[in-house]
Chain A
Amino acid sequence: MSLLTTSGLTKRFGGLVAVNSVDLRIEENETLGVIGPNGSGKTTLFNLLSGFFPPTAGRIFFQGRDVTHLSPEERVKMGMVRTFQLVSVFNSLKVWENLAPCVAWKSGMYHSLWRFMTTPAASTWADSLEALKLVGLEGQAEAIAGELSYGDRRLLEIALALSLRPKLLLLDEPFSGLSDVEIAKVLALLKSLKGKITIGIIEHKISMIVDFVDRLCVMNEGRIICEGNPSEVLTNPLVNECYWGKQETLERAGVSGV
């Protein structure tokens, strides 16, 4: 059984169909890449999967359960965790404080609301540091998160996601805005996770993830136009068309659109 499936998933913004009846399938412990030109609906697809907004039509199943109308927090509790295209951490908090509520909750430290409200955040320090070690940020635990470099904040966001012990980790362009060194760091971290958890990763540049993913999905204008193992996908003429021959495709759209 697949970990996640969608059927006919659709999202409309006014007249624009950002995601158009997508049937997606992600297997357990698979690493799936989602690629496609800008504006093809990749982020919108992840927003639907994570519950950022409800779909216009279609359903989402996670571990066989219909999660289409669950809130984001309920999905996180089931193990669906995401990061954002623009790094999103709590800039006003210290690096370790970013992690405090999450590691406390996940390690079962608090049996009750009262314990959660009265146990000092500092008691999560060891667990927070452990989570930071995973991404190599333990040296900056006391820094204010907003003062980290963009790349380090990306690493912090990933540490935050991992501290929630995800079954499915959805990463939206984790390499965008990062330097080559930082990209290498993030990629190494992701490679160490590969096969242990299920990963869905959006990337704009195919070359970045082609060696890393098990399977690729290509989106264009809200649809999945092709999917399969990376080498198959890259030789598919449709893909080349949507990436390189956009102008041509647009011109022919009226004629060949079925």
Chain B
Amino acid sequence: MGNVVKERGLVLEKTFVAVGKQLTQAGVGQKVLELILIGVVFLILVPFLGAHRATDFAIFCIIVLSFDLLYGYMGRLSFGHLLYVGVGAYTVGLALRYLTTNPLLAIVLGIVAACLAGMAVGAITVRIAGAAFALANLAFNRVGWFLVMSPLKDITGGENGLSIRNLSFWYVNFRNPTFRFWFVLASLLLVFLLLRVFTSSSYGVLLRSIKEDEKRVRFLGYNTQFYKWVTFVLAATVAGFGGALTALNYGYVNPNTLDVHANAGIVFACLLGGSGRLYGALLGGIIYMLITNLLPVYFQRWEFFLGVALLLIVFRFRGGIWGGLEALYSGLAARAKSGSSKEGMSR
């Protein structure tokens, strides 16, 4: 009996090492494989959650990925990241109401609007160092909230939000949950691929350098303000994409899309999965959504578990779940290397 368990464990271990080896390699075929893997994970989620929920998860992952670029890679924590989600969502809602009947065009407009908002706000906030950066962004997020709720109430619908009627156009039909799922999954894969390219370039290395010691980077001849701004805008743009998709997934935009309190959830998801790691952001996004969707069913005071998890991460697993897996992988791979000669003897 014990032998069977042991062998199963061994197979599991070998699979784990093999998959890890694949993921740490580079190349085009490699990237395709990764995309398929991510797609499969979401397809597995569909029967359990339903297409609509799974779509929600994927959108959340896009937003967490965008945040990870800013926070995980460049080391700049913002409490106002949802402003861009909101800008993307409201732009889609308003565009489909007043400008166009084409949801794809509305998405493009949403992305452009978030990009412009990021350019404007980023130009001011990236100059600010430390905690004040997080708070300055929070302030702008509050301004966005105020605009939606008060001066622009007549077009945004204020607290009641804005429902979208033009959801289908040509073959594009956002009324259909299956279409929405595939569309959002494709979007997630696109975002992932894009960020994968950016973060593994010299620019990606520069981001991690800025995270460690910005001042030192300036003495290497880099205008760090500029690169921080570029990154801020990029993160805002991707977040805007996530917001645009949120609007279409619900056929409805409400002020919750830019509620500053939800920002904590994104930070949490990022840390949980492992910040500064794209797979960490994906894993964190999925697990965070699972926790917040499932735990309340079983426990009334489920936030307690979030708190415990956060403490565990902060004190014990700084690399989050993905960081833990990486450490496990490098340990097992090293053991596999040194143990391959001994294996024959133990049999």
Contacts and interface: CB of A to CB of B under 8 A. Distances in A.
Question: Is B one of A's binding partners?
Answer: yes
B198 A118 contact: yes
B44 interface: no
B221 A90 contact: no
B219 A91 contact: no
B230 to A, nearest CB: 7
A121 B208 CA distance: 12
Contacts of B213: 88, 90
Interface in B300-342: none
B222 A73 contact: yes
Given A93-B209, A101-B209, A121 B204 contact: yes
A84 B213 CA distance: 13
Nearest to A164: B221
Given A90-B209, A90-B213, A90-B216, A120 B222 contact: no
A76 B215 CA distance: 13
Contacts of B3: none
Contact of B230 (A88, A91, A113): A113
Given A101-B222, A119-B201, A121-B202, 18 more contacts: A71-B223, A72-B219, A76-B220, A90-B208, A90-B216, A97-B205, A98-B209, A101-B202, A101-B209, A105-B221, A113-B230, A116-B201, A116-B202, A116-B203, A117-B201, A120-B26, A121-B201, A121-B205
B218 interface: yes
A57 interface: no
A170 to B, nearest CB: 10
A93 B75 CA distance: 14
Contact of B200 (A93, A102, A113, A120): A120
Contacts of B198: 117-118
Contacts of A76: 218-221
B27 to A, nearest CB: 10
A160 B222 CA distance: 13
A118 B220 contact: no
Contacts of A164: 220-221
B152 interface: no
A50 interface: yes
Interface of B: 26, 197-198, 200-206, 208-209, 211-213, 216, 218-224, 230
24 contacts: A71-B223, A73-B219, A73-B220, A73-B223, A76-B218, A81-B219, A84-B216, A88-B213, A90-B208, A93-B208, A97-B205, A97-B208, A100-B205, A101-B202, A101-B203, A101-B205, A101-B222, A105-B202, A117-B201, A118-B197, A119-B202, A120-B201, A121-B204, A164-B220
Secondary structure of the A contact surface, majority rule = helix
A77 interface: yes
B218 A73 contact: yes
Contacts, number: 82
Interface residues of A, number: 33
Nearest to A160: B220
A104 B218 CA distance: 16
Interface in A109-166: 110, 113, 116-122, 124, 160, 164
B221 to A, nearest CB: 3
A186 B216 CA distance: 21
A229 interface: no
A87 B198 CA distance: 29
A146 to B, nearest CB: 10
A92 interface: yes
A215 interface: no
Given A116-B201, A116-B203, A122 B26 contact: yes
A118 B223 contact: no
A11 interface: no
A82 interface: yes
B26 A102 contact: no
Q: Which A-B residue pairs are the 9 nearest by beta carbons?
A: A76-B221, A117-B203, A104-B202, A72-B218, A101-B206, A121-B202, A100-B205, A101-B202, A121-B205
